[in-house]
Structure 1
Amino acid sequence: MGRPMSQLEFFSHVHKKNHELGDFVDKKSKRVYDTYKASIESKYGTIRDYQPEFDPNSWMDAVNGPSKGRIYGIGPREPASHILGTPTSPRHSILAHDEEVNNLKLELASAQNTIEENNERIDDLTLRLERVERNHRVEMQETVRSMLRELNIPNFQFPSSSGSRNDDV
């Protein structure tokens, strides 16, 4: 062969009558072989050189996960954790997933709080800016009125706030 045997090749060799020449020894072996092969080919293509020797995630999908801490097709003495380097308990995986989901929820809540705080700050700054603009407009009008009075120019554009026309001259 000139290269290491892939998991699929090894599994086929061990689980077929007459070592790859005959049929599979049982239906489960055939199903696992076909499922794993289809998964590998869909991920990496049909050319053997581009496929990994072993894809733990595809294998776990093909065998429907570990059973009693063991993985079908790997060998009777190898615990799942030695092969995969992952938790052997589906419950452990679910808890890890739940913890990740909860962490993401907390992160999202924190981001939402930050957004709300920033929106409140924007609203406050907007009100302050409107107040400053209003005060500036009043000051400018008063300055223009004062200048027009000093120059004895009739003020038709900026009447006084009292409404009296006597102040406009």
Structure 2
Amino acid sequence: SKPQQALYELVLASQYAAIEATHPDNHWNVPHEQVVNILTQGLIDLGLLKGEFNELVETEGYRQFFMHRTGHWLGLDVHDVGDYRIQEQWRQLEPGMALTVEPGLYVAPDDTTVDEQWRGIGIRIEDDVLVTKTGCEVLSHEVPKDVADIEKIMKGS
């Protein structure tokens, strides 16, 4: 549907920005900050959130629809161990670190604060990412995720 596509494209845009921000010059939280900013502004633009952008980010008003972090460490286990902060500072990303980048939006089926067209839509787009010396490598890059590719798969072609 058009509402599903609008939310999907918003999540995808936030994911692309987070992947772009996943490199050794940034700390752990920078990709998440990118996602929060893009999702918050997009939710305002689509009319799901009401209010001023900076206030909604500061008060975490977006958490009604995005209630988790953007990713976690990957390693020997799906959710690998490792500190996200060291001495209360976000950990610097380093070459060789592996993590997920998985933003999402979830509109509860019974959420009467939004127009009915949005209710019951849930989207999460996940990639596995390896931090390299110059940026990152998306390990799951062969999984289709652009709208045209998804629509093609859904049509069975």
Query: Shorter-chain-normalised TM-score: which range?
Result: under 0.3
Higher helix share: 1
- Choose 1 or 2 for highest CA Rg: 1
Higher strand share: 2
The higher-RCO structure (CA 8 Å, 6+ apart) is 2
